[in-house]
Structure 1
Amino acid sequence: MDSPLKYPSNSAAAGRAAVGSSGLNSLGFAKAPADTRVVVAMSGGVDSSVTAALLREEGYDVVGITLQLYDHGMAVGRKGACCAGQDIYDARQVADRIGIPHYVLDYENRFSQSVMDDFADSYLRGETPIPCVRCNQRVKFRDLLDTARDLGAEALATGHYVRRAMGADGAELHRAIDPARDQSYFLFATTREQLDFLRFPLGGMHKPEVRALAERFGLVVADKLDSQDICFVPTGSYAEVVQKLRPGAIEPGDIVHVDGRVMGRHEGIIHYTIGQRKGLGIGGQKGDGGDPLYVVRLDPARHRVVVGPRAALGRERVQVREVNWLGAGGTPDAGGTRVQVKLRSAQPAAAATVFPATEAGAVEVVLDEPQFGVAPGQACVFYQGDRVLGGGWITRAEDGLAAA
């Protein structure tokens, strides 16, 4: 299909379209771009749109696919989310602009079962879930990869800010060049097989560069805001979503100090997360010496929120399940593998050692120094420098005396 868009002659991508001196094109295949079909996951945002436009400009045989993940009618007009009605419309406009075929696939049932139900159940267990990771793990990087292969594609490209690099043992996952945009924490569950098929053209760019490319390509989404909230939480209230998905499951209970004192009542543990300091519902009560109180533990079995001083948040050992290991050997070394770990997406990495656990697919992380606000349900992601060695889901964190 010929593109109706006439790209400027001073294009930044000019010269990348041909096969390079290594005999490989920019996606790593030994053939001309025109002979390489690549499916682009188009969410309707600026990043995936620029990804499609760049590959189209380089001469690749590009096919755009957008997943409809939840009720289209309810989503129309929503801003700042992905895979909603307005976003589907925007993706289609971009595809028309750059001259590529575009398909919308209905994944509502899969998304509801694999992501939304897990989100609700996780909150009811006293965890703090990350549904975007589950979406990548169970929908986008599983079913969509299969669809791309069915279409004869040799690669699936996304707009994620992360890098894929070839190492001694094959494809590796690395942080993005721009630390402010790096999304590697959310992609820890990407398997080796998936990484062989995936491509991330924006991993070496900064966001202003991507916006400038969107302007140059004349894309309608050039000034579109980035996604901020979880796509299926339109009001920002997780409790409302959980109540809708699990009616009657939210129960009130006591707010209890670590020393056993009852300090107040709450309307459900889903309103709280480990490390929370504000909005505890205890009328401004302070700890000993007037220090602020934090949520240090959630007890779903007894419907209790446990609060205490910041020192009570410190954790030295973290139990992690469903580990996806991208390092050599398939598992950490028996004597421990030195890493840096991120325990929340916005927290800096901390030095640690990862040890295999007796349970299959699990590890124990021993931190060099206690870390604060470690919450079950969050991800623990392992790094060596910029390389992602893998990660898993936090099930428990200990300070040597008590578990959270």
Structure 2
Amino acid sequence: MDQELIKYFLLGVVSLSFIFEKSVNFLNATRKTGRIPATLDQYLEEGKLQESKRYQKTNYYFGLISGSFTFVITLLFIGFGFFGWLDEWLRQFGFAPLALSVVYFGVLFIGSDLLSLPFDYYHTFKIEADYGFNNSTVRTFFADKIKGYLLSIPVGGGLLLVLLWLILEIGSDFWWIFWMISALFIVLVNQFYSGLILPLFNKLTPLEAGELKRTILGYAQSVGFSLENVFIMDGSKRSTKANAFFSGFGKRKKVVLYDTLLEQHTPDEVVAVLAHEIGHYKKGHITLGVMAGILQTGIILYILSLFVFNEQISLALGGDQLSIHLNIIGFTMLFSPISLILGMATNYFSRKHEFEADAFAKSTYSGKPLAEALKTLSVKNLSDINPHPLFVFVNYSHPPLLSRLKRLE
């Protein structure tokens, strides 16, 4: 396939991906809310239901505008060869091949982040604030940005540097070596995320001794789950939304509860949510998720090895010679349909795992408090109680509320 065909193919893939995504979002945004189900009568009023729908539509229109902006910029960069122009402009400074690729990606990263900054700011301080979710200050918002840079530049930049070096030095066999490095990185992130990375952004406080902690530890012991680390995270510093999650393996495993979860739910509901999280661990979902991530990374790297030395991709993006960084950009565009399919498959198994974790909590603790917790979470977070089935299939990592309640109740 010559460079012109590749160029138009890239334009077609990017356009079709955008149209598909926004069409699915449109179906969901324009879907009627329907009547309030009997199971939510005591939790949801008509006014709150309509507010939820307005929130969904507001996010849809915001996503349409911000997504269209990115889409148009991408089309212009492909159509007019700006990706290649940037490559040629940087080459005049005499960078070595490895340094050139690193600088190239650095410029794109900074430029992309600066372009998205106004949209992120508006979403946080306008949309989320209008619906009563935002607790973040301007200082916290920009502090998070700076911390993100300080973390992503050495970590992400370091991984990128290793990848580029392997490509340039080893050739097409780079993929399996970097796959092993990536696998180790994925395991380490899962093991140390809550201990090393999360504290950079949030404060973790051990759950104080009391009835709730005794109940939690008693439940964990009853299901054969050794648990010493239960932490409260100050999620309220950014949002009123509540959540809980589990991370780590072995002695480093931790359960993290948002402080908003404790504020908005009864102790019985908190333990039920915890039972759900422990269910993920006991059912092996954490390990399966890590293994799936490693396998998916290997597939991506292998396919990349088939394209990364194709000069026609570089020429299609406006370059005048083979450029590894141009080919990686072209690959990410060409791979997007496969990525969409992999994402839908991942979401399918994730929803299945959520049902299994719910069933575990129901059988080992109680289904009623978990159902009540889900209802409260859904109403307070203005979740969509009647999403379009296609939108669920494509985007949802968790089953819709009513599907979960049907099994729990």
TM-score by length of 1: 0.26
The structure in which a higher percent of residues are strand is 1
Which structure exhibits the higher relative contact order, with contacts defined as CA atoms closer than 8 Å and separated by 6 or more residues? 2
The structure in which a higher percent of residues are helix is 2
TM-score by length of 2: 0.25
